[in-house]
Each structure stands twice: as structure tokens, then as C-alpha cells.
Structure 1
Amino acid sequence: MISVKSPKGLPALYSLYRLASQIRIDVKTYKISFSKIQGCGNCFVICEKEKGLPQNLNWGKLSKAICDFNRGIGADTLLTISKGRNAPFFMEVYNPDGSKAQVSGNGTRCVARYLLEKGYSPRLFKQIETVRGLVGAEILNGDLQNLQVRVNLGRQVKEIKRMTIKLNGRAVKVIYVDIGNPHAVRLVNKFPADWKRQGDLIEHHPVYQPRKVNVEFGRVVNKKEIEVKVWERGVGAVLSSGTGASAAVLAAIYAGKLSPKAKAIMEGGNLEIEYDSIKKNLYITGPAQTVGSGVFFYHV
């Protein structure tokens, strides 16, 4: 233990003043304009990268801060928009743990709404560039109050296969679906009471490392409807997911239990999913609603 004997009176105050003057804390604050938009309860913070922000800004760290529901704006995902090479706009997807995803179905619809509200012609974002290629976005009506957007994820279905993994010592059957993002789908007759715990265990299962995996539980209602619960990697349980709903529908089609055009029923709302087996295109149709907008003060 080290004991320090402090001088008394004015000399002590002067010593403290000198010490404090030698301590310098560099804190930079960036004012980041954002919009918060949700699709079926899946909420996104959307920012434009080129608006006076440094090129070396760590967007993964920013995602952790801005998506925090207690200390930030609060969102399931951060979406950024910048100039594209093969389309006017390039969209990137950041999870709240700082990791990146390749594509987002709900996010694409929300970005389309954001660009529409900013005054861009729908022709300019008919295609939006992502790290996995171009995705289509079509405004189905001009009513912002009840806006519906149809997203064409394109030829994103890379792989569908059955897998058996060990979960707490027992064999569990899943259908692995790669549609730009990896998904493990469990088709069930009844949702497990501990589906969130199972989702977490499957996400971090050794067979899916290091990328981890999104997890969906699907209960087929009839040939045209499926109920879906979503555990999103890097996020946790979410009210809905466009790619998650798509993966569940594709898994059920693969299992011969669902038609190529079906409704995915989730806690946050319903999405229409359609798979064109000839062109190999995957379509997602659903709403996108603005929650609010403002400025986030980001301290680094």
C-alpha cells in the first residue's frame, strides 16, 4: 500500500490544479442524423455514411452504441446508406453486437421508405446494392400511412439441406438455408416453451462457427400459412425478420409442407413470401413505417 500525504490549505488546491491541468481527455462528438423505421416490429436505425462523417469511423462500434435501447436510440439493426458502384445506393447491415450481416429483407423495405421520404424517385432505388449483390425494391402504393414494399432478394438461395445437430446431448433435426445470411430452421408441430434458449444454443453451436447462424422455428398452419418465431444472430429474439420468414418458408417448401407463395405469421406482423422456382427469385412483401428521426450524439 502506498500512502500519500497531502499538503494542507492553498498549496493543496494548487497541487490539485496543476495535476488536473496535466490530464487531458480527448472526446470527439459526432452528430449523426438518423431515421428509425420499422417493418412488422423489426426496427432499424438508418444513417447516411457521407453526411460529414470521417471515412475511418468504426460503424460496428457505432452500431453497438446507437442500437442500445437504454443508452442509444434503440434498434434491432443499424443500416447505412452510401453511394453504390452498381446501383445509386449501397446498403450495409450492422448488428447491435457490432458484427455485419450480408442482407436484410425487412431492412431493404425500410431503406426504400427512407429514400422515398427523402424525395428520391422510386426508379433510383428500384435496385439497391448490398454486399451479396443487387436486391430489388418496389413501392406498391403511394400511401405512406399504409405503405407496402415488395423486395426481390434475387437469386439468393445458395443452399438448402437437412442437418442433425446435438443439442444438450440429444439429436435435433434442422433445415439449413443459406439466402445470403445463414439460417437453421426447425419445423415443429408446437413451439417449444424454451425456444429462445434453443435459439441461442443453435446460434452458437460449434458446427455454425465462426459465422454463427440465425434460427427460426416454423409451425405450418396449412399449405399457404406458416407461423414463425425468429432468433436473430447477434440480436436475439425479434418480432419479425424478412430473411428469417423467407428461410422458414423455403424450409417448409423443401419439406413439401408449403406452397411457393405463403404468408409468414410473426408476432410483429405478417409478410407475404414468394419463391419463383424457375427464375430462382425470392420476394418479400410487407409494410414499412417511420417511427421518428433526429440526431444522435456519438461520443468517441
Structure 2
Amino acid sequence: MNEKIILLFHKMHGLGNDYVVINEFEEELIPEDKKSEISRTLCLRGFSIGADGVIFVSKSDIADVKFRIFNSDGSEAEMCGNGIRCFGKYVFENDVLREKKMSVETLGGIKNLVLTVERNSVKTIRVDMGTATFKTRDIPMISDKDEFVDQKIKVDDQVIKLTAVNVGNPHAVIFCKNLDKLSLEELGPLLENHEAFPERTNVHFVDVKSPDIVDMITWERGAGFTMACGTGATSVVISGYRLGVLDKNVQVHLPGGELQITVYEKDDKLGAFMEGDAVSVFEGIMELEF
């Protein structure tokens, strides 16, 4: 016998990267074994709410609150930079946690958020994205190299130079020119599903305008083209800094808007702060049957 629930949800976006946010802080609304399937359904544009992913707000035993995110294909991701900014705004403005500083549990580790609040409205969110790793075993990436930094990889009949890095989830960063002439719909899926990445990867093409300004476009693992990617912007700037082509403070231009990324060094590793806004679009009620 099918079960029906009435679901209260919020629709939010960070630079056009949009999400359905579901509050399960007090009680589980969607059974664990149904989260993937229902997330996939909720994200269907034209047939449901439509989104790049579904975010769940939950209790945490190790942080102030817990963040979970499912991509539009139903896969659960470790972290999402634009998503966690929406999460922080939602948690504060909906009285889950009325703190301007909060620790958030994610599958990619604990992230610390600092909110800029004006008249009870969250204007910007600064996220400590933590430190990155270039170690292929930790990305994960199948390679005979300890690190895959500015190295060549064969994609069908092309050879592409990329840097592989993990900032809570895996990324492939490609520095190039003429992004408008790039075939993202072709290269994105090929790299996302390349045999070198056993857990797939996010893919970013980057045009360096100056040491403190870049343009980038993203093919997101499990979602395809997205208007913005916060972890991706972080991976791009950390990679560019490691390669010596970018400064520590970089403005990243994405199709959906801008992010400010600031690199720091900790214990011989590179980390970064990401800062940007998040927008509440609407809230609604939906009947779900499962």
C-alpha cells in the first residue's frame, strides 16, 4: 500500500544553482531508502518542482547541524558550496539555529559558516571549505602518479591537460581559453565518467583573465551543466594558486554570478574561504506518494 505525505519545502538558489530544501531537523519526513528516488523525482524540471539537487536539514552528533545533498540523478554528494550557503541561510532564517557562526556536518567533513545578517535576513555566507588534497588516492583517481597536477589525460581522441583535486568532493580543473567555443555538453560527460575517476568527478573549464579574476563553466557530477559550483570555484582557485597562475584572493565569474575565494595555508596544505550570497525563491506544499 502506497504511503502519502504532505511535504513542506523551500526553493532556494545560490548563483542560479537551485535546490529544494527539506527540514528534517525534528523528524524524518522521507524514509532513508526513498531519499534517492524522491530527490530524483523532485528535481525533474517541467514535471515537479525542478532543481539541481535536494538538501536535507538534519540533527548532528558532531556539529551544530547536519547537511545532506542529493543530486538531480539521485546520487548523494559529499559537499556542495552553493548548496551549503543556501543551507546556512535557511537554518538561520527558519529558526533551526539562530547563530551567525555555525559548524555543519557534511560527508566531506565539518564546515564552519559565518553569516552576515541584516534585519534578521542573511545577506552573505562565508564558508571555510577546509583544505584540499591533490593526492590521487584521496580524490580518488586511478593513476600511477602520486598527484595529477597539470598533467595530460586522453579523452576519446583528444589529449587534455588537467589538475585533479579534492575539496570535499572530486574535481577536474582545466585551464583554457575561449569558453564560449567549448563543447561542454560533449567533454563534460566524457570527463565526469572517465575511467580514471572511479567515483566520477566534477569538471571545470577556466579562463584566467588576470591573477585575481577568472571565468569558469562547470559540468557537475550527477547534475550536468549548472549555473555555478561553489566547491568547483574553490578547487579552481586552489589549483590556480598551486600552479602559480592565480593570487590568493580571486573573484570567480560563473554563469550565475560571482564568488570570492580566498586561499590560506594550513599544515603545509592549501585551503580556502568561499563567500557569496544565497536566495530564498519560494516555499510550498506538495503531496508525495511512495
Pair in the same fold by TM > 0.5: yes
Distance 1:56 1:202, change over 3 A: closer
Q: How big is the shift at 1:156?
A: 4.4
SS across alignment from 1:36? strand
Q: Which residue of 1 aligns with 2:35?
A: 59
Q: Number of matched residues?
A: 274
Distance 1:145 1:268 in 2: 21
Q: Secondary structure of the residue that 1:97 maps to in structure 2?
A: coil
Which has the higher mean CA deviation after the structures are superposed, 280-289 or 148-157?
148-157
2:9 is the alignment partner of 1:34: yes
Matching residue of 2:250: 262
Unmatched 5+ residue regions in structure 1?
Answer: 1-25
Partner SS state of residue 69, structure 1:
coil
- 1:1-300 equivalence runs, <5 A: 26-49=1-24, 50-51=26-27, 53=29, 55-123=31-99, 126-142=102-118, 147-157=123-133, 159=135, 161-162=148-149, 163-191=151-179, 192-209=181-198, 211-278=199-266, 280-300=270-290
Aligned residue type for 1:73: I
SS at match of 1:58: helix
Q: Deviations over 1:211-238 (max 9, x none)?
A: 1110000000001001010100110000
Residue in structure 1 matched with residue 142 of structure 2 by the alignment = none
1:145 positional shift: 6.7
- When residues 70 and 273 of structure 1 are mapped into structure 2, their CA distance, relative to the original with a 3 A threshold, is same
Label 1:101 to 1:158 Cα distance change in 2 as closer, same or farther (>3 A).
Answer: farther
| Distance in 1 (alpha carbons) for counterparts of 2:48 and 2:113 | 29
The Cα shift of 1:143 comes to 5.4
CA distance in 2, matches of 1:265, 1:145: 25
Q: 1:144 to 1:196 in 2, by over 3 A?
A: farther
| 2:19–2:52 Cα contact (<8 Å) kept | yes
User: 2:217·2:255 contact (CA, 8 Å) conserved in 1?
Assistant: yes
* The structure with more strand, counted as a fraction of residues: 2
Report which of the two structures shows the higher radius of gyration computed on alpha carbons: 1
Which SS does the other structure have where 1:123 is aligned?
A: coil
Amino acid corresponding to residue 29 of structure 1 in structure 2 = K
Amino acid at match of 2:93: E
Identical aligned residues as a percent:
27
Structure 2 counterpart of 1:70, one-letter code: G
Letter in 2 for 1:202: L
Q: 1:275 to 1:157 in 2, by over 3 A?
A: farther
- Report deviation, 1:186: 0.7
Aligned counterparts of 1:169 and 1:247: Cα–Cα separation in 2: 26
CA contact (8 A) 2:93 2:121 kept: no
Q: Is the 8 A contact 2:100 2:115 kept in 1?
A: no
- Cα 1:157–1:102, aligned 2, differ >3 Å: closer, same or farther? same
1:153 and 1:282 in contact (8 A); partners too: yes
In the TM superposition, what is the alpha-carbon distance from 1:131 to its structure 2 partner? 1.6
Question: Residue 88 of structure 1 contacts residue 124 of structure 1 at CA under 8 Å; is this kept in 2?
Answer: no
Distance, in Å, in 2 between the alignment partners of 1:198 and 1:144 is 43
Alpha-carbon distance in structure 1 between the residues aligned to 2:5 and 2:132: 36
- Once residues 178 and 126 of structure 1 are traced to their aligned partners in structure 2, the CA distance between those partners, rounded to angstroms, is 23
Alignment RMSD: 1.9
**Corresponding residue number in structure 2 for 1:9:** none
| TM-score (norm: length of structure 2) | 0.88
Q: Distance in 2 between matches of 1:248 and 1:144?
A: 33
Give the whole-Å Cα distance in 1 for the aligned partners of 2:255 and 2:184.
14
CA distance in 1 between counterparts of 2:95 and 2:67 reads 18
- Once residues 85 and 207 of structure 1 are traced to their aligned partners in structure 2, the CA distance between those partners, rounded to angstroms, is 35
For 1:244 and 1:154, locate their aligned partners in 2 and report how far apart those are by CA, in whole Å.
Answer: 13
Between the aligned partners of 1:143 and 1:217, the Cα distance in structure 2 is 38
